Amino acid sequence: MVNTAHLSKIDSAILDKIKQWLGPETDDDTRQTLQSLIETGKEDELIDSFYKDLEFGTGGLRGIMGVGTNRINKYTIAMATQGLSNYLLKHYTNEPIKVAIAHDSRNNSDLFARVTAEVFAANGIKVYFFSALRPTPELSFAIRTLGCKSGVVITASHNPKEYNGYKAYWEDGAQVIAPHDKNIIEEVQKIKSLADIKFKYDATMIEDIAEDIDELYLKALKNLSVSPEAIARQHDLKIVYTPIHGTGVVLVEPVLKRYGFTNVTVLASQSKPDGNFPTVIYPNPEEAEALKLALEKANEIGADLVMATDPDADRVGIAIRNDKGELQLLNGNQTGSLLIHYLLKAWKEKGQFKGNEFVVKTIVTTDLIPKIAAYYGVKSYETLTGFKYIAALIKKLEGKEKFIGGGEESYGYLIGDKVRDKDAIASCAIIAEMAAFAKDKGSSLYDTLIDTYVQFGFYKEKLTSLTKKGKSGAEEIQLMMKELREKPPINLAGSKVIRVKDYNQGSWINPQNGEKGTLDFPKENVLQFLTEDGSLVSARPSGTEPKIKFYFSVNEPLKNKSLFEEVSKQLDQKIDRLVTELNIK
């Protein structure tokens, strides 16, 4: 028995968990790692590893890999799968249950995917298994195509290399939402011992899938093309693409080839899948550093467009040539606005509108998108942050209204409804197509963006994320949200706050006159402050990372292109003032 008497900072509940993991139900490696942490007195690490169980957030189960209930390891993966299995068996009684499983390029993703498959199979559930890495959106597509009741992809998306995760999907190919998410958690919480997990499985219950699904998926993506004739004329558009050591390498180049692009350079130094992501600090296309090598290659060969996908290929970042001929990175709001504007313009030119189309954005995504949609007479909806809410809306409106596209500021977009999650494979194809469309008209994506600002208003956004790690960090984030609720700002950047939205309470109030109302959204821990001049500040703790995020959106009219730089600086100054006044640091 390992002596834990010297661990004075650790309470009895956490010690009980630690002792369970030192028992015979875990393997030698797990026990040895845990014993070393105890013997060396790593109390803070032990507390952080065991003070809570990982829970499903907006992105599923995600955390740092390691030993403990608050870490990603084969046991927490197995417990989640056993809980999901139990819920599936209760929910779908007297009918066969099938699931699909995929994984990304992260360290241990293949191991965790295999454990997931084996636990499902041990529970008598048929498994369709991508034995080689595949993008997250293809997993969503496979669930719907194969008639599965659920699915899992092992990924931590764009997080640092220390992380991994587990995204659970429902039969519509979307990430699990209420009430299923909470019911699955309840089932996991009923597992009191690791011995409750079923591991003995029948190998015939696991069927490998790969190329057949690839082909069906690529055909579905090809059908999203709106302007094939523009591509035919601009097929040699110079494109540099990087998968940043992730799954996009499997399908982005093939889909671009099917669209008709003939001049695509895949960045060799980042084309090999590698969970250590050796050429970047973070494998996140939101970070300029992650695109550095791709930009260098693009400048070397004179490319028109750069695209980069994250490890599970559900997000994409891009760079385009500006009016000076320099490559310029776009943020998620800019790319999303360009995509929606292109799709609606191209649909209109082709006479494809039937009058029941719609687009979707999240509450922290630019309000430029609904302005564009209104111009084309297309409905625009708004959901909470997280693509599962966009997917739920698509499902709700299925058969009544036609989904064209949508997205969120965090570089995730969806075109068409064959997939029910962010899809960087489809996005890369349509981004390339809209670049060809602009070039075919003697323009560019940069010119299109500025023209959009002139037509609809110059919207500028900024995201500030504060990382607060561990138990103390989680408590600090809770305190920040509590103080904002109890003492919301009355004025921001010289403009009156006319609406404070509290999505956790499902209500809003105008602090100037006391007027109140309700919000028709599921409850979520988000606060928003809207000012008289149209500025918007949102505060939202992340559901998947130890962060609190502040989203800033400001706007001004742009009378003509020549004023772009001047108005851009004014908007930057307004955002800086908002950050200062809210004391965000």
Residues 6+ apart with CB under 8 A from 471: 47, 48, 51
pLDDT of res. 8: 72
Task: Give yes or no: residues 408 and 491 share one domain.
Answer: no
Task: Give yes or no: residues 305 and 406 share one domain.
Answer: yes
Q: What is the DSSP letter of 87?
A: H
Instruction: Give the three-state DSSP class for 265.
Output: strand
Instruction: Supply 87's token pair.
Output: 């819920």
Cis peptide before 179 (omega within 30 of 0): yes
Kindly report the pTM of this predicted structure.
0.94
pLDDT of res. 178: 85
Beta strands (DSSP E) in 286-368 are 305-309, 316-321, 327-329, 357-362
CB-based burial, 326-340: b 16+ in 10 Å, e otherwise: ebbbbbbbbbbbbbb
> What are residue 574's phi and psi, to 5 degrees?
-70, -40
Residues 6+ apart with CB under 8 A from 4: 10, 15, 18, 19, 38
**157, 410, 538, 553: which is the annotated catalytic residue?**
157
Task: Give yes or no: residues 1 and 137 share one domain.
Answer: no
pLDDT of res. 543: 65
| CATH number of the structural domain spanning residue 391 | 3.40.120.10
Task: Give yes or no: residues 314 and 253 share one domain.
Answer: yes
Beta strands (DSSP E) in 25-155 are 61-64, 98-103, 126-130, 150-154
Instruction: Supply 64's token pair.
Output: 């740092």
388 and 174 Cβ atoms separated by less than 8 Å: yes
- Measured distance CA(58)–CA(384) in Å, rounded: 10
Task: Give yes or no: residues 59 and 69 share one domain.
Answer: yes
Instruction: Supply 259's token pair.
Output: 């669209």
pLDDT of res. 474: 86
Q: Which of 456, 474, 498 is at the close of a domain? A: 456
| Cα 456 to Cα 39, 330, 410, distances in angstroms | 63, 18, 22
Task: Give yes or no: residues 462 and 451 share one domain.
Answer: no
pLDDT of res. 191: 83
Task: Give yes or no: residues 452 and 468 share one domain.
Answer: no
If the chain, 585 residues long, is cut into consecutive pieces of 10 residues, what is the mean pLDDT of each piece? 71 89 91 92 91 71 92 94 96 96 98 98 98 97 98 94 95 93 85 89 97 98 98 98 98 98 98 98 96 98 98 98 97 98 98 97 98 98 94 97 97 98 98 98 98 98 90 89 95 97 97 96 96 97 82 98 98 97 87
Q: Which of 267, 252, 222 is nearest to 316 (CA)?
A: 252
Domain count for the chain, please give it: 4
**Residue 472 annotated among the catalytic residues of the structure:** no
| Cα 482 to Cα 498, 508, 529, 541, distances in angstroms | 20, 16, 15, 12
Task: Give yes or no: residues 482 and 389 share one domain.
Answer: no
Task: Give yes or no: residues 242 and 346 share one domain.
Answer: yes
Q: Which of 145, 178, 209 is at the close of a domain? A: 209
pLDDT of res. 234: 98
Alpha-helical regions (H) of 197-322: 211-222, 228-233, 252-259, 292-301
Instruction: Supply 267's token pair.
Output: 């960045």
Phi-psi region of 214 (alpha: psi -120 to 50; beta: other; left: phi over 0): alpha
Instruction: Supply 368's token pair.
Output: 């430029």
- Measured distance CA(429)–CA(270) in Å, rounded: 20
- Measured distance CA(428)–CA(253) in Å, rounded: 9
Angle at alpha carbon of residue 452, lines to 451 and 455, rounded to 5°: 85
Domain extent at residue 391: 217-456
pLDDT of res. 56: 66
Task: Give yes or no: residues 276 and 424 share one domain.
Answer: yes
Place of tokens 């003509």: 560
Residue type present at position 287: E
- Measured distance CA(350)–CA(439) in Å, rounded: 18
430 and 438 Cβ atoms separated by less than 8 Å: no
| CATH number of the structural domain spanning residue 551 | 3.30.310
- Measured distance CA(176)–CA(184) in Å, rounded: 9
Task: Give yes or no: residues 195 and 249 share one domain.
Answer: no
Compute, in degrees rounded to 10, the torsion defined by CA atoms 564, 550, 426, 422. Answer: -160
Q: Which of 173, 189, 209 is at the close of a domain? A: 209
- Measured distance CA(218)–CA(417) in Å, rounded: 14
Task: Give yes or no: residues 75 and 120 share one domain.
Answer: yes
> Residue 458: how many CA atoms within 13 Å on its side-chain side?
19
